[in-house]
A and B are shown apart, each in its own frame.
Chain A
Amino acid sequence: MPSEIITLQLGQCGNQIGMEFWKQLCAEHGISPEGKLEPFAKEGSDRKDVFFYQADDQHYIPRSVLLDLEPRVIDGILKSPYKHLYNPENVYISKDGGGAGNNWAQGYHQGDKLTEDIFDIIDREAENGDSLEGFVLCHSIAGGTGSGMGSNILEKLNDRFPKKLIQTYSVFPMTNEVADVVVQPYNSVLTLKRLTENADCTVVLDNTALNRIATERLKKATPTLAELNQLVSTIMSGSTSTLRYPGYMNNDLISLISSLIPTPRLHFLISAYTPLTSDNTESEVRKTTVLDVMRRLLQPKNVMVTTASRDKNITHCYVSILNIIQGEVDPSEVHKSLMRIRERKLAEFIPWGPASIQVALSKKSPYVTTQHRVSGLMLANHTGISSLFDRMCDHYDKLIKREAFVENFRRLPMFKDNLDEFNDSREVVQQLMDEYRAATRKDYINFGNTQTAQGE
């Protein structure tokens, strides 16, 4: 089948998100938790084969690989009603069961050791499809497994499948509070380097913003982890809806992200979704029109990344925007909305290239009833994301200055001799931030040139 996508779920966070994602997909495609097609789901216009394949007994099996270094979360999944959904061969738990101890280096190192086993699974999955288009990786960049092993896998995937796309859904840790994991800044920066260099597209999910949205939009004082994960799965299913419900355009992953990412390194995307609902709250959004949806998508409070739109003396702007509108939409309505948004200048775009709001219209799943006629997802490339990295680097700098907690890292081969990897990563992130800032200026096209000139 064309353009299959393999999902890799890494670590505690990745698996939790992944589980919600598959729950959502199953609901949208009318697949029961056991993988059977629900009786109400007739042969429709959807394409299940992008994310599922059929076993000998016609069960739908997700193209998904579940990886963790400790058994807790995956055990949880295997006890849930969805235990029969996954291919048991694709579930891999480290035999040590000790986890990565929130240590990037530990995760990375263990990843190295387990490469054989893991890539056995991945290779098998990859050969399973006729034309694999890419991988989707769910992980968090704060912990040990998701970030460390994730980084390792990213590098290896790049080696083994140079032509395939790698998209990640990366959960960024809270930056405004004291982190629950002390080495979180280290983990983040080290992972960020791999994300910059080895991933093609990273959808940034900022835990801070997710929490904020959950409290504000869903009126929850303390949102549970499951609810946050549900938000993430909504984003994930939304952004893949054009692949699963074929339409005129954006029927493969590459066309979806290629327009969003003008230059290879600027591939950190922010996302927004509206209207948001959770199971037991009533949404405050009553009426949804295309314009409403598009307008709301541009509001910072709906964006799932906390970014500073104003950064010292730089006005951040959008590099590109893709709105995926789901539901019954009259195309002329879309056109009008775009005009309005342009008139009111609701979105600021880069000065150096063509940019506009691209719209992809997608069908809604016939099996999931929503209260709203129209819902929208925005994927955007915004230079303001650099402020997020900036904050992360701030935390990192504070720690590294004191060389706090580095002992745990030093124990592992990568950092035995020196801490070069830390500095290197920090530099890469710095460059990334520089590039993002440069992208707000007109002379971005010559960005590399001037840099090189200065370097020499």
Chain B
Amino acid sequence: MAAHEYSLHFLVNELVRASNINLKGTNLAPEAIVDYFNKNTNQQANTYTPAELADAKRKLFANSASANEFVELYDSLKARHVRDLDSVIIILSQIVDNHEVRELVKQSRPLSTTMTSPQQKRVHNQSRTTTTTTTSPTSTMSKVHSAHVLAEMKDNLLRPTSTLSQPGSIMSDGEIRRRAITPSTSTEFLGRPSWLNERLRLLWDFYPTPEKFEPDVAIGRLSVAEQEAIIVEDLLLCMLGIEGKYIKTPSLTDKQAQRSFHIDRSLDATLRDLARRMVPLCSNHSLVVRFIEDRLQYRYGLINHALAGALREVVQRYYVFVSQLETQQQQGQLTLQTLWFHTEPVMEMMEVVANIVRTLNKGNTVGRAVLDLLHEQTLKLSGHKQAYDICFFLAKSAYRPYLTMLETWIHNGLIDDPYGEFMVQENKDIIHHESSLEQEFNDKFWSRRYLLQRNNTPILFQSSSEMILNTGKYLNAIRESAFDFIDDMTMDMSTSILRVDKQLLMNNYKKLEYTIHEKDLEETLEEAYKYASEILLDLILNKYHLIERFQTLKHYFLIDKGDYIVQFMDSAEDELTKRARDIDENKIQSLLDVSLALTSDDQYKDDVRIKMFHYDLISMLERVINIDSSMNINESMEHKLTGLESFSLDYDVKWPISLVINRNCLTRYQMLFRFLFYIKYIERLLCNVWRAHKNGGRRRRRGGSSRERRNIITKPNGAAYLRHKMLHFVQNLLYYMSFEVIESHWHAFQNNLKKVTNIDELLKFHILFLDNCLRDCMLTSVHLLRHIHKIMATCVMFANAMDNVDDDNDYDSLPGAVVASFNNNFTDQLRQLLDAISKEDGPAHGAAGGGQQHTLTNIIHR
């Protein structure tokens, strides 16, 4: 995202400069604006829910003095499928919400009213005046103005290239946003070659003749038959886009304007009337031809190109028709009446096409909007066979490039989308390269790499968009993993993967064809989706042994197989009790490796690594909960930390598996592990105290008279009693965490795994499992953890105190007062913990919380 930040900074600075606003008076620093935008872009800003939109609209409506005008304008814009309308609406509503910006806008108000040049006006727009101004003192002026400004703003938006090409001009908010998300849209496309504009004869449209061609004779003087012949010829010429002798057309200033025709007034009235009826055909043809020329430009994107191509085909047929008429005319068989007879149905078709073109022109639509419009038209015209056919043809052609993209996406998992028209966009910032994947893999890659662009999703695919996104994503993942696999696996494995790849491509899918029925398409999509998700799931579960991986994680991180911990603690205790910074990590690693090798088997144990954290569990939790405070890890803590507190495991995951077992999950695992590990360690300490107790007692018992012995063995053992209490607490806590929390959630997770049908569900279940575990292990509340930690600390202190005395002396030589104070501490802290738990046990914790409380009350049972 770094690149975006720079560009954002630049744009915001430009904005501030251009709008001449003195920002010093306000606390709206450019940085804040940047932050704001950054946040927005991070939130997939371009996809709004209808509810959000409605809300925004309502707000604007309420704030606008010229409410009706606004609504009108909005509707008309909406009807034209103007791009980014939604974004603009949202931004405007945010401006209304944001008081500061509103004030700013007011300040700049007087300035803007005096500006007249379009350039300045645009600047003024971008300083977000628009509808908010209706609340300003100058509202009388702006009432009329606001709607106008809004329109202007749309205008701006509709010409992205022009804005871009003007140096120093500022992009609108919407554009900034769009740019941030889809960099490709803002790249400048090759313009039309200049000769196209210079040599107008190359166009199919009317050639503007500067010199007025004067007819030899006034047509009115000729006989009606002659007049008819001439006018038929003229009409035929006009149909082809050539000015006739008596039918004239003024040159147009606007490319998109409707062409008007002047038929010589001296023409016979009946003929003239008939001719006039046919003239719209010519004008429509002209319109369509101009549209074709225009839309063939690169910047309009594939869909427009395809549409233009289709239109050209239509026009081609039209030319055939006209030339047939011409043949007839040359044979002298064509009267104006027959011409009219032949033309009438064609006219109708042309009208349909022209209508579409007009709408498209109005919105200057590209991409998805074109498709939607065509789709709508097709649906609308479904009663009219011929019109429907032509519309269907256009829609089908226009859809073709889109569907091809869709096909490569859902069958190969690739995006081939040079114009940024496809509904799925790749986030180029998150690039998959191996080193970064293995080191710092988080779920960002999976969730952010491909984004659904609501703006680019045709209505036809609206309902299945998620499915489409996922299909491609899965395939993409398979592709990535297949490549990785070949790199570092043996030959037989790679061949098997190649087989998968082949399978992937051989999948003889139904060709996607445009249809007005969503269902037909959906079926194909669903098939592809099922196929993709099955393959990926199969790949991950079976080829990469995900389930076994999960088990490994459970064995080691959740200490399902506790024997290795016993072994490890035996060997590494000395090292681990050192201060964290003095610890030789290599040594620990090798000790761990040895313990793992010696204890129970697991295929994937080789991937387990150690990791020493430089902060303890509480601060780890704090960091997770409030990321802001991550900066202030106090150094002093690092000094105090022993290896035991900083020790944790890590796990190497290779690419396709890291999709599921990503950094986020591993962090959760690590938190659980650290907690469990520490408790295990406490248990161990207390067990050692237990051992010492029995030894101490035993040693003294030997020898000495029975009398003496009697005194000693029956000595009170407050210490033993306290130790028992602590041990009981620790073991119960362990039991609770392992069986009642981890094991039961694991159980549920396993059941879910059986039902899982795609990778996203799998991810979801996995996270759910971990979150539940964390929550029920009291690892979501710093408060609770503190309490537990205090208790643990008391236990450690007690164990150490016992350790110091027990070696040569009798164990209960420890002064009773010390034991008593430990006892008091422990009991107090336990009580506090229980209080805290019952407090936390709101309805939020639900059943699990109840169980937790129950178990812990059980601990203190006395």
Which of A's residues lie within 8 Å of B, judged by CB?
1-3, 43-47, 130-131, 158, 162-163, 165, 197-198, 200, 246-252, 254-255, 258-259, 261-265, 330-332, 334-335, 339, 342, 349, 352-356, 358-361, 424, 427, 431, 435, 445-449, 451-452, 455
Tell me which residues across on chain A come within 8 A of B223, comparing CB atoms: none
Determine if B701 and A354 form an interchain contact, defined as CB atoms under 8 angstroms apart.
no
In the complex, whether B262 has a CB less than 8 A from a CB of chain A is: no
Give complex CA distance A301, B600 in Å: 38
Bound Cα distance from A45 to B600, whole angstroms: 6
Q: A197-B701, A254-B690, A335-B851 are in contact. Are A246 and B598 (CB under 8 A)?
A: no
Tell me, yes or no, whether B698 is within 8 Å of chain A by CB: yes
Chain B residues with Cβ below 8 Å from A265 are 697, 713
User: CB distance B570 to A246 under 8 Å?
Assistant: no
Contact at B727–A258, with CB atoms within 8 Å? yes
- Contacting residues, chain A, for B436 (C-beta < 8 A): none
Residues on B with C-beta less than 8 A from A332 are 740, 744, 747
A-B contact pairs, 29 of them (CB 8 A): A47-B600, A130-B598, A162-B699, A163-B695, A197-B698, A246-B561, A247-B561, A248-B558, A248-B738, A248-B739, A249-B731, A249-B738, A250-B562, A251-B566, A254-B687, A254-B690, A254-B691, A255-B687, A331-B739, A352-B721, A353-B862, A354-B860, A358-B735, A360-B735, A361-B739, A424-B706, A435-B714, A445-B718, A448-B716
Interface size on B, as a range, is 35 or more
Query: How many angstroms between the C-alpha atoms of A358 and B739 in the bound complex?
Result: 11
Given A248-B743, A258-B686, are A353 and B698 neighbors across the interface (CB < 8 Å)? no
Determine whether the beta carbon of B721 is less than 8 Å from that of A445.
yes
Contacting residues of chain B (713-741) with chain A, CB-CB under 8 angstroms: 713-718, 720-721, 724-725, 727-729, 731-732, 734-735, 738-740
A258 near B716 with CB under 8 A, answer no
Q: Are A252 and B566 in contact (CB under 8 A)?
A: yes
Q: Considering the chains assembled together, what is the distance between the CA atoms of A207 and B732 in angstroms? A: 33
| CB of A18, distance to nearest CB on chain B (Å) | 24
Minimum C-beta distance from A48 to chain B (A):
10
Question: A360 to B562, alpha carbons, bound, how many Å?
Answer: 13
Q: Which residues of B contact A264 (CB under 8 A)?
A: 693-694, 697-698, 717, 720
As a 0/1 sequence over residues 674 to 704 of chain B, the CB contacts with chain A under 8 angstroms (1 = contact) are 0000000001001100110111011101000
Q: Which residue of A lies closest to B689 (CB)?
A: A258
- What's the nearest-Cβ distance from chain A to residue B815, in Å? 15
CB contacts (< 8 Å) of B724 on chain A: these are: 262-263, 353-354
| Cross-chain contact of B562 among A131, A251, A446 (Cβ < 8 A) | A251
Contact call B728/A259, Cβ cutoff below 8 A = yes
Rounded to whole angstroms, the CA-CA distance of A259 and B859 in the bound complex is: 13
- The complex places the Cα of A334 from the Cα of B706 at a distance, in Å, of 47
> Which of B563, B714, B732, B860 is the one whose CB lies under 8 Å from A358?
B732
The 5 closest A-B pairs by CB, nearest first: A248-B738, A448-B716, A251-B562, A262-B724, A2-B567
A293 to chain B, nearest CB (A): 16
Flag if A334 contacts B566 (CB, 8 Å). Answer: no
The 8 Å CB contact of B721, one of A43, A353, A431, A451, is: A353
Chain B positions near chain A (C-beta within 8 angstroms): 558-563, 565-567, 570, 598-601, 683, 686-687, 690-691, 693-695, 697-699, 701, 706, 710-711, 713-718, 720-721, 724-725, 727-729, 731-732, 734-735, 738-740, 742-744, 747, 851, 854-855, 858-862
Q: Assess the A162–B735 pair: CB atoms within 8 A.
A: no
Contacts of A427 in B (CB 8 A): 706, 710
Known pairs A47-B600, A334-B739; A448 contacts B728 (CB<8 A): no
Residues of B within 8 A of A44 (CB): 601
Contact between A455 and B570 (Cβ–Cβ < 8 Å)?
Answer: no
Chain B positions within 8 Å of A359 at CB level = 735, 739
* Complex contacts, B743 vs chain A, CB 8 Å: 248, 331, 361
**Closest chain B residue to A361 by CB distance?**
B739
Check A335–B740 contact: CB distance below 8 A: yes
Residues of chain A contacted by B851 (CB below 8 angstroms): 335
Q: B861 near A356 (CB under 8 angstroms)?
A: yes
Report A-chain residues with C-beta under 8 Å of the C-beta of B854. 339
Please tell me which one of the listed residues A131, A261, A331, A447 contacts residue B716 in the complex, with CB atoms under 8 A apart: A447
Chain A residues near B711 (CB-CB < 8 A):
452, 455
Contact partners of B740 in chain A: CB under 8 A: 331-332, 334-335
Q: What's the Cα separation between A427 and B709 when bound, in Å? A: 11
Complex contacts, B701 vs chain A, CB 8 Å: 197
Task: Report the Cα distance A383→B694, complex, angstroms.
Answer: 19
For residue B855, which residues in chain A have a CB less than 8 angstroms away from its CB? 335
A250 closest partner in B (C-beta): B562
**Least Cβ–Cβ distance between A373 and chain B, in angstroms:** 15
Q: A47-B563, A264-B693, A330-B744 are in contact. Are A131 and B570 (CB under 8 A)?
A: yes
Which of B563, B691, B698 contacts A158, CB < 8 Å? B698
A427 to B693 alpha-carbon distance, docked (Å): 22
- A246→B562 contact, CB < 8 A: yes
B744→A259 contact, CB < 8 A: no
Chain B positions within 8 Å of A248 at CB level: 558-560, 562, 734-735, 738-739, 742-743
A2-B598, A258-B687, A448-B717 provided; 7 other pairs, C-beta below 8 A?
A: A162-B699, A248-B734, A249-B734, A264-B717, A332-B747, A445-B716, A452-B714
Least CB distance, A445 to chain B, in whole angstroms: 5
Distance of B848 from chain A, by nearest CB (Å): 10
CA distance A414 to B859 in the complex (A): 48
Contact B742 A2 (CB under 8 A): no
Partner of B728, one of A354, A445, A451: A354
CA distance A125 to B687 in the complex (A): 25
Nearest CB on B from A105, distance (A)? 19
Residues on B with beta carbons closer than 8 Å to the beta carbon of A334: 739-740
| B561 partner residues in chain A, CB cutoff 8 A | 45, 246-247, 251
Whole-angstrom CA separation of A446 from B862 in the bound complex: 16
* Residue in chain B with minimal CB distance to A201: B694
Which B residues lie within 8 Å of A254 (CB)?
A: 687, 690-691
Residues of chain B lying within 8 A (CB to CB) of residue A446: 716
Which of chain B's residues have a CB closer than 8 A to the CB of A445? Answer: 716, 718, 721
- Least CB distance, A291 to chain B, in whole angstroms: 16
* Chain A, residue nearest B690 (CB): A258
- State whether A200 touches B563 (Cβ < 8 A): no
B601's contact among A43, A162, A251, A331, by CB below 8 Å, is which? A43
Knowing A331-B743, A356-B858 are in contact, say whether A255-B599 is a contact too (CB < 8 A).
no
CA distance A255 to B854 in the complex (A): 23
- B721 / chain A contacts, CB cutoff of 8 Å: 262-263, 352-353, 445
Inter-subunit contact A354/B725 (CB<8 Å): yes
- CB of B72 to closest CB in A, whole Å: 62
- A250 to B731 Cα, complex, angstroms: 9
Q: Which residues of A contact B747 (CB under 8 A)?
A: 330-332
**Interface contact A3-B713, CB-CB below 8 Å:** no
CB B543 to nearest CB in A, in angstroms, measures 21
> A200 CB to closest chain B CB, in angstroms?
6
Q: How far is the CA of A448 from the CA of B858 in the complex (A)?
A: 27
For residue B693, which residue of chain A has the nearest CB? A264
Residue of A nearest to B855 (CB): A335
The complex places the Cα of A358 from the Cα of B859 at a distance, in Å, of: 10
Complex contacts, B727 vs chain A, CB 8 Å: 258-259
Q: A254-B691, A259-B727, A354-B729 are in contact. Are A447 and B861 (CB under 8 A)?
A: no
Complex contacts, B686 vs chain A, CB 8 Å: 258
Closest chain B residue, CB of each to CB of A446: B716
With a 10 A CB-CB cut-off, give which of B559, B565, B731, B738 has the most chain A CB atoms: B731
Bound Cα distance from A198 to B860, whole angstroms: 32
What is the bound-complex CA distance between A313 and B560, given in angstroms? Answer: 46
Most buried by B among A248, A331, A335, A431: A248
Question: Given A45-B600, A198-B698, A264-B694, A259 and B713 touching (CB < 8 A)?
Answer: no
Cβ distance B406 to chain A, nearest Cβ, rounded Å: 46
Residue numbers in B under 8 Å from A252 (CB-CB): 563, 566
Cβ of A155 to closest chain B Cβ, rounded Å: 8
- Does A354 lie within 8 Å of B862, measured CB to CB? yes
B732–A356 CB distance below 8 A: yes
Residue in B closest to A131 when the chains form the complex, CB atoms: B570
